[in-house]
Amino acid sequence: MKRRKFDLAATPGKAAVGVDDRFAVATPLRKLLNKVFPDHWSFLLGEIALFSFVVLLLTGVFLTFFFEPAMTEVVYDGSYAPLQGTPMSAAYASSLDISFDVRGGLVMRQMHHWAALLFMAAIVVHMLRVFFTGAFRKPRETNWIIGSLLFWVGFLAGFTGYSLPDDGLSGTGLRIASAIMLSIPVIGSWVTSSVFGGEFPGTIIISRFFIAHVLLIPGLLVALISVHLGLVFKQKHTQWPGPGRTNNNVVGERMFPRYALKQGGFFMVVFGVIALMGGLFQINPIWLFGPYEAWVVSAASQPDWYVMFLDGSTRLMPAWEIPIPIGDGYVIPPLFWPTVVLPGILVGLSTMYPFLEARHLKDRKSHNLLERPRDAPARTAVGAMAVSFYIVLTLSGANDVIADKFQISLNAMTWAGRIGLLVVPPLAYYVTYRLCLGLQQHDREVLAHGVETGIIRRMPDGRFVEVHQPLSASNGHADGHGQLDYVGWVVPKKMNRLGALGPAIRGFFYPIEKPVEAPVSPGHPPVEARPEREEIGSGESRR
């Protein structure tokens, strides 16, 4: 019998040719495989947010199979005995069912909630990295704006999700949200009534929040994240200054295979940490909160952490009501300022910051090299000011818990927050500014005089001096060594960073290599500087 010869090994090759015949992807694919990414731990923070978003999508889809977004009143008859026979909304009953009557539902719910907290936390940490290293500067202003918008859209996603179970705690949050909308001058009551479909709470808000939470907001998030990543790809990642690194190149690894493997592994690690937290730490025990009833509340009613700063600002706001004596008289409630005006200012300031800074510094150049925080003291200090402002507000959002557990007067906590909000940020500015200058000073000192060796030498006249290891060879100066320029990257300040110690022995339980010869003993004369140090140079300083 005649059979066509079938060569298994050649099949992938043939298939690839077939694909390329039709789509002509070979060259674009090569470009993708070859793309170079710089490697630094701080460049992975944004990935945490991206990966937790993927986990959110996965667990969220699971939850939608069991959640019933309706406010119709039902009487609970699930297996959680302490609520049996209690009238509640269908949304709350189905959330309880997910927790108690769907096998494995609780761990999925908890993973979803932890992933949400992690998503927001990673966004904030990533934003701090971008801010303090100046990665938002031209040409990346657009991506900074998209990133800030992602925080606020994530905020909405979190708040709508937190409200869906319709439990006692989230219902209280929803009530406050309605009061915030009510406080908007002129249109407040119309906005509230339109959002809630009548008077609070109405019967439709959960269904509206549901569609926003599972379709509109995630759609927006996916769109924004895609553009965000697309821009990172197009504009190429920033990098730290260092040997061979210039404003015009990217030094790192090609995307495949090593970089991609690391990313894949990191995704699994993020997923794993979320799974561990989802199983081991209980979050949002809605069964203790009971159904939402307008007259039920708990001590220590707080929103999730990323909303807490708004709760804090509301708590600290003095009772300043602005009456407007026209006609029957109108009023701007005190709630308006900390919950509508403040976030508005924060959105505006944070999105506009790149332009404000560029304008202030008259800086129109493109920057692909990052700055160490100490090298931009003003920016770092402004950032510290913003962070301390945010922290004071967030702590104030939990001031009753702090007051209770540390036995401080609640009223004293409020006053501490009010004063702290005004005093701490300027203080943070000043302290950070001085710290930056001090660190700069020290870097330059080491560059000029060398690293402290810890060796004390007694001079013939009885003085003691510490021997410094210069970082560069002598150039005929009086003190015997040349001065190096600071190039925006870490200056070695310890002898073992200069190779004074032998390399660490590799292997966890037993050495897998023969240890190298004994390290330099303290009595040795100072070691020679490594020659390649001279090559340090940022492209920027060269231009």
Partner 1 sequence: MSTHTEHQASQGPEPLDVNDPKLTRFDIVREGARRDDIEIVHYEPQVLPGTKAERRLTRVVAGFFLITGLAATAFLAIYIWWPWQYEAGRGGDKFYTPLLGFTLGVALLAVGFGILTWGKKLLPKEVSIQDRHEGQVDSEGRTITGQTMLYMADELGVKRRPLLGISLLAGLAPVAAVAAAPLVGGLISQPHKNNQMFTTGFAAAEGGQRIRLVREDGRPIRPADISSGGQLTVFPGIDHGVSNRHADSPTLLIHLRDSDAQESRRANEKVGHGDYMWGNYAAFSKICTHAGCPASLYEQQTNRLLCPCHQSQFLITDNARPVFGPASRRLPQLPIEVDSEGFFVAKSDYTETVGPDFWERP
Partner 2 sequence: MTSDNDRRRGLLARLRERPAARSRGRRRLGAAVRLIAALMLAGGAYTVFAPGAQAQDNPQLTGAAAEGKALFDVSCVTCHGRNAQGVEGRGPSLIGVGAASVEFQVSSGRMPLARQEAQAHRKPPVFNDEQTRQLAQYIQELGGGPVVPEGDDLREDGNIAAGGELFRINCSQCHAFGGGGGALSSGKFAPSLHPATDRQIYAAMLSGPQNMPVFGDNQLRPEQKADIIAYIQETLKHDQDPGGFNLGRYGPSTEGLAIFLVGIVALVFASLWIAGKS
Residue closer to partner 1 by CB (options 309, 429) is 309
- In 4-158, at which residue ranges do the beta strands (DSSP E only) sit? 36-37, 73-75, 87-89
Q: Which residues of 446-455 are buried (b: 16+ CB within 10 A; e: fewer)?
A: bbbebbebeb
Rule CB under 8 A: say whether 274 interacts with partner 2.
yes
Q: What is the CA radius of gyration of the chain?
A: 30
Give residues 302-331 in contact with partner 1 (rule: CB under 8 A): 311, 314-321, 323, 328-331
Query: Contact region for partner 1 (CB under 8 A) — 286-294, 355-363, 431-439, 477-485?
Result: 286-294
Q: Identify whether the C-beta of residue 43 lies closer than 8 Å to the C-beta of residue 259.
A: no
When the beta carbons of 34 and 226 are compared against partner 1, the nearer one is: 34
Site string for partner 2, 409-448 (x = CB under 8 A): xxxx------------------------------------
Q: Is 137 in the site for partner 1 (CB under 8 A)?
A: no
Closest approach of partner 1 to the CB of residue 537, in Å: 10
Decide: 275 and 111 in contact? Cβ < 8 Å.
yes
Q: What's the rounded Cα separation, in Å, for the pair 439 and 356?
A: 26
Burial class (CB in 10 A: 0-12, 13-18, 19+), 444: middle
Q: Which of 17, 24, 25, 269 binds partner 1 (CB under 8 A)?
A: 269
Q: How far apart are CA 394 and CA 138, in angstroms?
A: 31
By CB under 8 A, what part of segment 141-170 binds partner 1?
none
Measured between alpha carbons, how far is 258 from 340 in angstroms, rounded to an integer?
47
User: Are 234 and 31 contacting, i.e. CB atoms less than 8 angstroms apart?
Assistant: no
Please, what is the minimum distance in Å from the beta carbon of residue 511 to partner 2? 15
Per CB under 8 A, 108 contacts partner 2: no
- Among 24, 61, 297, 412, interactor with partner 1 by CB under 8 A: 297
Binding partner selected for residue 461 from partner 2, partner 1, none, CB under the kind-specific 5 to 8 Å limit: none
User: What residues between 119 and 158 interact with partner 2 by CB under 8 A?
Assistant: 121-122, 125
- The entry of partner 1, partner 2, none that residue 288 binds, CB within 5 to 8 Å by partner kind: partner 2
Contacting partner 1 within 90-129 (CB under 8 A): 100, 103-104, 106-107, 110-111
Task: Tell me, by CB under 8 A, how many residues bind partner 1.
Answer: 116
Nearest 5°: the CA angle 66, 156, 275 is: 50
Binds 83: which of partner 2, partner 1, none (CB < 5-8 Å by kind):
partner 2
**401 is an interface residue for partner 2 by CB under 8 A:** yes
Minimal distance, residue 324 CB to partner 2, in Å:
32
Q: Would you mind telling me the total number of residues written for the chain in this entry?
A: 543
Using CA atoms, how far apart are residues 247 and 538, in angstroms rounded to an integer? Answer: 8
Angle CA(21)–CA(24)–CA(25) in degrees, nearest 5? 125
* Unique residue bearing structure tokens 């043939």: 14
E strand or H helix that includes residue 330: strand 330-332
Q: Give the nearer residue to partner 1 in terms of CB position, either 127 or 471.
A: 471
- Does 381 interact with partner 2 (rule: CB under 8 A)? no
Of 117, 214, 381, 498, which one interacts with partner 2 (CB under 8 A)? Answer: 117
The Cα 247–Cα 143 span in angstroms is 19
